[in-house]
């Protein structure tokens, strides 16, 4: 089995329930992953919407997840530092730390990519870093990437 990411909240490429969006409670979905590469030292997660009218919109940036972690619970705190051992959340394009759920304009469905990166190092970044800083720090350290896509459309 290959490195993969899943959730109980929705099936791959299916509609994300409103509970996880700005039309609901705006809580993060549970996430679980399996089969990371053997030399994984940490994980980073980026969730974004490439269908946003102004270009790709970042909904969640999380990094510093321990190599032995295998899941995130539903409704993760939006604090900049979370869990034990501590991992960090970055600033999303809403200008806040933590998860900011789908909130597209009315119209066609948007796709939301939850991308989990297995890294061969620990990212030495402060809490609250943005997606660009995390991507720069990950460069040359990505062992594997797992992806989960969900969709959402506002009525």
Is this structure's pTM higher than 0.85?
A: yes
Q: Are strands 87-89 and 57-66 parallel, antiparallel or unpaired?
A: antiparallel
Joined together, the tokens standing for residue 93 give 């394009």
For residue 85, the tally of other CB atoms under 10 A from its CB is 9
At 29-80, the pLDDT tens digits run: 999 999 999 999 999 999 999 999 999 999 999 999 999 999 999 999 999 9
Give the whole-angstrom CA distance, residue 115 versus residue 50: 13
Residues contacting residue 47 through CB under 8 Å, at least 6 positions apart: 58, 59, 60, 99, 112, 113, 114, 115
Average pLDDT, the chain: 95
Helix or strand holding residue 53 (H, E): none
- The CATH T-level fold of domain 4-152 is Phosphatidylethanolamine-binding Protein (3.90.280)
At 120-136, the pLDDT tens digits run: 999 999 999 999 999 99
- The confidence score (pLDDT) of residue 84 equals 63
Model confidence at 85, pLDDT cuts 50, 70, 90, reads low
Strand order in the sheet with 71-72: 4-6, 31-34, 71-72
Query: Could you state, in order of their start, the residue ranges of all structural domains in the chain?
Result: 4-152
């Amino acid at each position: 089995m290959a490195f993969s990411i899943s959730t109980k909240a929705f099936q791959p490429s299916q509609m994300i329930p409103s509970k996880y969006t700005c039309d609901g409670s705006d809580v993060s979905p549970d996430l679980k992953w399996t089969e990371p590469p053997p030399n994984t030292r940490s994980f980073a997660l980026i969730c974004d919407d490439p269908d946003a009218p102004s270009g790709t919109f970042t909904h969640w940036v999380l990094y510093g997840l321990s190599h032995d972690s295998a899941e995130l619970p539903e409704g993760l705190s939006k604090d900049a530092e979370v869990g034990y051992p501590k991992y960090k959340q970055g600033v999303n394009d809403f200008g806040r730390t933590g998860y900011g759920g789908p909130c597209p304009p009315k119209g066609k469905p948007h796709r939301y990519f939850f991308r989990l990166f297995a890294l061969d190092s620990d990212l030495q970044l402060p809490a609250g870093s943005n997606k660009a800083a995390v991507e720069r720090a990950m460069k040359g350290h990505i062992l594997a990437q797992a992806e989960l896509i969900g969709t959402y459309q506002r009525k």
